[in-house]
C-alpha cells in the first residue's frame, strides 16, 4: 500500500513504550510525525532516536506529536532506550511502537520489497490536524535522516496552512515568502499594505506573515 500526500493517514492501535496507543486519539487535533526504524540496536537508528528526543521541545513548541516505529519486540525497546541515552545523551521521551507483526509498517507502505522483505526503510510521515498526510519521505536503511529538515518543513506547512503563501527554495523560518497565484495584485496590496516585491507577474515575494 502506498500512502500519498493528501491521503487520510490510517488509524491503528499499537503497543508502545508508553503503553497501548490509538493513533487518532494520540494526535487528537495536533500535527504529528510518524517515523520508522529498520531495526533495534542498529547504529544509525540509535543516533536518529537520540537526536529526535533532543528536539522534543522544538516539536512541542510547534504542537507536534512524535511517534517512532520499530518492527522489533517491545521487550527490546527498554534496553535499547538505555543505549540511546548512554550514547546520545538524551533519553527517549516519545512513544516507540513495537510493530512485530508489521501490520502498521504494511499499512503505511514502510516495507519496500526491493530493499528488504522484512525490515522497514526510514520512512517519515508528517500528518496534519485533519489527519491528512502533508509530507512523506523515504530514506534507505544506510542513510540517517535530517530531522532539522523535518522541523523546517513543518514550519513551512504550518505557515502555508494559515496564509495564502508558499515558501521558496531553501526557505527558513523568518525568510520572505511567495504570494499565492490565487491572490490578485489588488488583493495583495490590501493584504500587505506595507508592500511586496514583484519579480515576475507570477513571482511575488513578501515578508513572512507573523
29 is catalytic: no
Catalytic residue selected from 45, 49, 67, 177: 45
> What is the distance between the alpha carbons of residues 194 and 73, in angstroms, rounded to a whole number?
57
Locate 150 and state its grid cell: 523535518
Query: What is the 8-class DSSP label of residue 39?
Result: -
Q: Annotated catalytic sites, by residue?
A: 45
Amino acid at each position: 500500500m502506498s500512502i500519498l500526500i493528501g491521503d487520510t493517514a490510517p488509524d491503528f492501535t499499537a503497543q508502545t513504550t508508553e503503553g497501548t496507543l490509538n493513533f487518532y486519539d494520540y494526535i487528537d487535533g495536533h500535527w504529528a510525525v510518524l517515523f520508522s526504524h529498520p531495526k533495534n540496536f542498529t547504529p544509525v537508528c540509535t543516533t536518529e532516536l537520540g537526536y529526535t528526543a533532543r528536539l522534543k521541545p522544538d516539536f512541542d513548541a510547534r504542537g507536534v506529536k512524535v511517534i517512532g516505529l520499530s518492527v522489533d519486540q517491545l521487550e527490546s525497546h527498554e534496553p535499547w532506550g538505555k543505549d540511546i541515552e548512554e550514547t546520545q545523551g538524551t533519553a527517549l521521551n516519545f512513544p516507540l511502537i513495537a510493530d512485530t507483526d508489521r501490520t502498521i509498517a504494511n499499512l503505511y507502505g514502510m516495507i519496500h520489497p526491493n530493499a528488504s522483505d522484512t525490515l522497514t526503510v526510514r520512512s517519515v510521515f508528517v500528518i496534519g490536524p485533519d489527519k491528512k498526510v502533508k509530507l512523506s519521505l523515504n530514506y534507505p536503511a544506510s542513510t540517517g535522516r535530517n530531522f532539522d529538515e523535518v522541523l523546517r518543513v513543518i514550519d513551512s506547512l504550518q505557515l502555508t496552512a494559515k496564509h495564502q503563501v508558499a515558501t521558496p527554495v531553501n526557505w527558513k523560518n523568518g525568510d520572505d515568502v511567495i504570494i499565492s497565484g490565487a491572490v490578485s495584485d489588488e488583493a495583495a496590496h490590501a493584504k500587505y499594505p506595507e508592500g511586496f516585491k514583484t519579480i515576475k507577474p507570477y513571482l511575488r515575494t513578501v515578508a513572512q506573515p507573523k
